[in-house]
Amino acid sequence: MKRFLICAVSGLFTLFAAVPAFADSSLSSAEVSAKAAILIEAGSGRVLYEKNADQPMPMASTTKIMTAILAIEKSGLDDTVVVGKNASGVEGSSIWLSVGEKMSLSDMLFGLMLASGNDAAIAIAEHVSGSVDAFAELMTARARELGAKNTNFMNPNGLPDDNHYTTAHDLALITAHAMQLPFFCEVVKTQYKKIPWEGHEWDRVVKNKNKILWNYEGGNGVKTGFTKKAGRCLSAAAERDGMQLVSVVLNAPDMFGDCMAMMDYGFSNYQNQCILEADTHAGRVKVLQGVDDGFDVYTPQDIRYPLTAQEAARVETRITLEPQLRAPVRKGQQVGSVQLLLNGRLIYEQPLFCPVSIGENSYTFNLGRLIDLWIGRKILDMAS
């Protein structure tokens, strides 16, 4: 039976992270050909299966997931990308860009993610940051922000470099964030796309190399990769019954089979349980010396977490709130959290926020209100 606990604390919890619960090991390492692999639920980040998931390894063209993230976050999709000499003729997979060719950033992203254009990656990097080196620094910094602490980027396309690496876990975190970006999702679920080919009488037609889209129920992304050094790499995603899974394999002889086996395991054993619905009343916080004496706190969204049937019966929900605050209090200020505990262990935490601003009930504040009222009345008198 799920237990619901409410308590007040004097300090705030600053943690807001998906804390991995115990990964079930019933899917054996022998069933996964990859040297490193992981399966997570994207919304919570919970690890459902892992194999050498924190081992730094090259990741080939799965690098381009981060390239796409930064393109979407740092530029406008209608931007015109002008191809420079560094982009044209890059080795490996290509969409055959020419120096001086112009293309919208949105079309360039289809060439990047579906055809895995190494030239498109360079063109995007130079458009966003002015140079590949500056863009690579931005990639690494953004990875750190997303919790990918063991990742370092040297280029936007994944061509071999000893200092270019990630881990299966890091890449899953990066992918989970990417799958929250609507245009990214639109791109990676597209099977075929026509994009312009400046100077030609016909368009380019690019085909998605990710077989998950064709061969797996609910498959909705994301990116393949291969170099001799990295081996076959894949970040794959699928959604069923409101649960979005992300699977990552690095150096995987059977990359599609590995990802499908992991996701089969995830969908068979876990459900994305709604622990608390949006707008659930979490409690009331008193405000001292304020123009109002307090405010009610509600959960901002559904709180969901992937659980097995056995785990669902053992989850505890704990709400912590500041017992009181001193005015002024600002809207959006964190005032507590919702914690999920499994077998007494913290597995997830969501912050709770103040829904309104409450000013201080002071002489200065009340004088200001009187002045505002007086000015308002004078304006009305003049208007009449």
- What is the spatial order of strands in the sheet that 324-326 belongs to? 294-298, 281-288, 324-326
The two tokens of residue 60 are 């080939």
3-state secondary structure of 173: helix
The two tokens of residue 312 are 């669902």
- How far is 367 from 364, CA to CA, in rounded Å? 5
- Which listed residue (64, 189, 193, 223) is catalytic? 64
- How far is 182 from 202, CA to CA, in rounded Å? 29
3-state secondary structure of 216: coil
Q: Which residues contact 276 (CB under 8 A, 6 or more apart)?
A: 299, 302, 303, 317, 338
Report yes or no: 245 and 222 within 8 Å, Cβ to Cβ: no
Q: Where are the alpha helices (DSSP H) in the chain?
A: 64-74, 105-113, 118-129, 132-145, 168-178, 182-188, 212-215, 255-269, 309-312, 363-383
The two tokens of residue 68 are 């796409």
Establish whether 61 is a catalytic residue.
yes
C-alpha distances (whole Å) from 53 to each of 152, 167, 172, 264, 359 are 16, 6, 10, 19, 49
- Which listed residue (33, 44, 116, 129) is catalytic? 116
3-state secondary structure of 133: helix
Q: Which residues contact 51 (CB under 8 A, 6 or more apart)?
A: 29, 32, 34, 36, 37, 38, 168
- Which listed residue (33, 44, 51, 61) is catalytic? 61
Establish whether 116 is a catalytic residue.
yes
Q: Which residues contact 277 (CB under 8 A, 6 or more apart)?
A: 299, 302
Report yes or no: 219 and 236 within 8 Å, Cβ to Cβ: yes
- What is the spatial order of strands in the sheet that 315-321 belongs to? 3-8, 315-321, 334-342, 345-353
Report yes or no: 299 and 276 within 8 Å, Cβ to Cβ: yes
Cα atoms in the 13 Å half-sphere on the side-chain side of 263: 28
List residues with catalytic annotation.
61, 64, 116
